[in-house]
Structures are given as C-alpha cells and as structure tokens.
Amino acid sequence: MRDYEMTIRKELGVRPPSCYLDLLKHHGDRFPEDPVTEASWIPGLGNVAFVVGTTQSFRAAFPSLPEEYIVIGYAGRKTIEKLGEDIDVYVMLNTKDESVALIDSLGKWETVSPNFHEWIASNLAKALLRTKYHGHLVVIEMRYEKEAEELTRQIRELEQERRLKVTDMATVMRKGDGSLEVRHHHEVSGKGVTTGGLAGLLLGTLMLHPLLGAAVGAAAGAASSALPALLDHVGIENDFLRELSCMLTPGAAALFVLVEEPESRPVLERIKGLGGKVLITTLSRRAELTLQAALNGEGPETP
C-alpha cells in the first residue's frame, strides 16, 4: 500500500492529519489525478499526485499562503462580476487544525468548515452507500413517530400499486426514555442486501449526520468518532447506538428506504406535504432537491 503520509511530508513538508490519511488509506486509489476534468469517487477530491502538484503551484503563485495548507480537491467555478469572468475554486485542508477552506485562482481564500470530519461526512456516506447498493437510497428524518408512520404507509401503498419497487425499508425511532427502536418493514427476496445489513449500514451512516436539534459540539464529536469505524467496517456497534441516542430528540424518527427504478411523479404526488428532511440519498442533487420540495408541499416536478 502506498505511503501517503511519507509522500506528502517529503514533497510538501507537512504532516497530514490522521482523518485525511484514513480516507486516503482506504479510498485513495479511487481519486483521480485530475478531478477538474475527471469524475471522482467523492466529488472534487484528487489523489496524492494532484495534492502535491496543485499545492506546489499555489505556493509558488501565492507565497503568503500559510504552509500548513494543502490543496486536496477542486470545488468548481465562481463568477467574478468585476472581471466579468469565471475562475476556478479549489479545496484546501489545514494540516494543523483540520479545518477546510476554499481558495480561488486569484489567491482569495476563506474557511468553510472548522472540521474535516464534518465537511466530508455527507459525501463520504453517499459514496459508501453508492458502492454497496445498486438501488436508490433515501433517508428522511421526521420530527415525530406518527409522521414517519404516515410516510411509511404511503410508500407501502405505492409499492402495492406497483408504482415503486422497494428493496428494503426500516425506521429508527428514539423513545421518550432514550432507548432506540428499529423497525424493519420489508422482506428481502432473491439476491441483494439483507434487512439487517441495510439497517446496520444506515445506522453507521446516520452517525455522520446530526438529527433534530442536536448540539453542535455533540454532533461534531459523533462524526469524529464514527468516521474511522465507518471506513473500516460499516455496521451497528454499541458506541454508535449510545451516540445516536444522544443525537436523536425523544419522539423523533428516521426512515430509510432502498428503492429500484422509482417512478418519480407518482411518488412525489403521494408524499407531497408530508414533511420531513432528506438527510442523505444516493439520488442526484437535482432529484434530491425535487424530493425535498415535494415533502415541503411544493411542486412536484419530475427530476
């Protein structure tokens, strides 16, 4: 296995934080050398060759850039109205405090996240889920158990009407006494995932996302402790369950649905106005926004 730490330390003179090294150790081979033009496993992130070359270029162009920063990815383009043109924007990681910043090709930069774990969590979880499952995964948080039950009922009706093919479905609820309850709503047949496997993966994934009014400090701590475990093996562990109990508001619920070939318009019309927040999904960004709009009572429009 390639020694990512040695390469970065030798070429850039800094020691990358363990959180970033863990990501490279497990998935570094999935990142391209040119994330500007090539699709990456996690959007925008480049491999070590990109990190070294791009960081050296920025240091040469902007000598005042603090040496603790390394460029780890490409964020896209932004418009500079005064110049009347678009310029490139890149992602930087502070190797000392693990914060994440954006820097444009003119050298202007700003911090966008105080913590790498927090910044990477959503996209990492999506990438892991896309790798493991071939269907479309949607996780929706609901404020109350009854709301989750109604959404579950509507999805079941859509399946019975053959408007939606559900591979697996589960609900996680936190009771008033702080205990967790996991309900499986679907029997899996044939090849594919098992119900327990889905619930285990999703509970691990859920640890990367604060639910329903969790304190910022608690959420950051949960993401920090969950990331290495999620990288190594995704499943239910006692520590995850304890942290999840602290993050969920009593009475809250999260619905997990794995579907195949969803017919978007009938689904959006049926769930319109039921409320809830799309917590994580493997759908495209456009489809995710359309789904959220329907839950909010807007639309629907076919993604």
Q: Each residue of 163-178: pLDDT tens digit?
A: 888 887 878 887 777 6
DSSP code of 265?
H
Residue 24 has a pLDDT of 92
Give the number of C-alpha atoms closer than 13 A to the C-alpha of residue 259, restricted to the C-beta side. Answer: 21
* CA 191 vs CA 133, 134, 234: distances in Å: 12, 12, 20
Q: What is the pLDDT of residue 91?
A: 98
Residue 116's CB: how many other CB atoms inside 10 A?
Answer: 23
- CA 294, CA 31: separation in Å to the nearest integer? 34
Question: Within this chain, do residues 206 and 192 fall inside the same structural domain, yes or no?
Answer: yes
In the chain, the percentage of residues whose pLDDT exceeds 70 is 74
Q: Are residues 159 and 254 in the same domain?
A: yes
What is the extent of the structural domain holding 277? 120-295
DSSP readout, 31-100?
S-S-TTTS--SSTTB--HHHHHHHHHHHHHH-TTS-TTEEEEEEEEEEEETTTTEEEEEEEEEETTT--E
Asked whether residue 11 falls in the same domain as residue 59, the answer is yes
Q: How confident is the model at residue 132 (pLDDT cuts 50, 70, 90)?
A: low
Q: Is 144 a residue whose pLDDT tops 70?
A: yes
pLDDT band at 99 (very low <50, low <70, confident <90, very high): very high
170 and 90 together in one domain:
no
User: What integer is the mean pLDDT of 7-31?
Assistant: 93
75 and 220 both lie in a single domain:
no
Q: What is the DSSP letter of 274?
A: -
Q: Which of 114, 146, 166 is the last residue of a domain?
A: 114
| One domain, residues 284 and 142 | yes
- Average pLDDT score, the chain: 77
* Domain boundary, last residue among 114, 140, 168: 114
Identify whether residues 209 and 68 lie together within a single domain.
no
Closest among 90, 108, 112, 110 to 35, alpha carbons compared: 90
Distance CA 282, CA 126 (A): 6
Same domain, 110 and 125: no
Residue 300 included in any domain:
no
Question: pLDDT band at 139, cuts 50/70/90?
Answer: confident
Q: Are residues 242 and 156 in the same domain?
A: yes
DSSP letter at 115 equals -
* Number of structural domains the chain divides into: 2
Tell me, yes or no, whether 302 lies in a domain: no
Does residue 19 belong to any structural domain of this protein? yes
What the block records as the tokens of 249 is 């508001």
- For residues 124 and 110, membership in a common domain is answered with no
Tell whether 44 and 155 lie within a shared domain: no
Quick: pLDDT tens for 177-228: 767 777 776 654 333 333 344 444 444 444 444 332 222 223 333 333 333 3
Task: Tell me the three state secondary structure of residue 210.
Answer: coil
Q: Looking at residue 16, what is its pLDDT? A: 94
Q: How many CB atoms lie within 10 A of CB 71?
A: 24
* Better pLDDT: 159 or 132: 159
Task: Supply the pLDDT for residue 214.
Answer: 29
Q: Is residue 285 part of a domain?
A: yes
**Does 273 map to a domain?**
yes
The tokens for 268 are: 């959006």
Residue 247's pLDDT is 54
More confident residue, 28 or 282: 28
Give the pLDDT band of residue 14 (cuts 50, 70, 90): very high
* One domain, residues 76 and 159: no
Classify residue 21: in a domain, yes or no.
yes
On whether residue 222 sits in a domain, the answer given is yes
CA distance 84 to 21: 39
pLDDT at 123: 80
**Where is the domain boundary, 87, 114, 141?**
114
pLDDT surpasses 70 at 136: yes
User: 134: helix, coil or strand?
Assistant: coil
Buried b (16+ CB within 10 A) or exposed e, 268-291: bebbbebbbebbbbbbeeebbebb
Domain-located, residue 303: no
- Please determine, for residue 25, whether its predicted confidence score (pLDDT) is greater than 60: yes
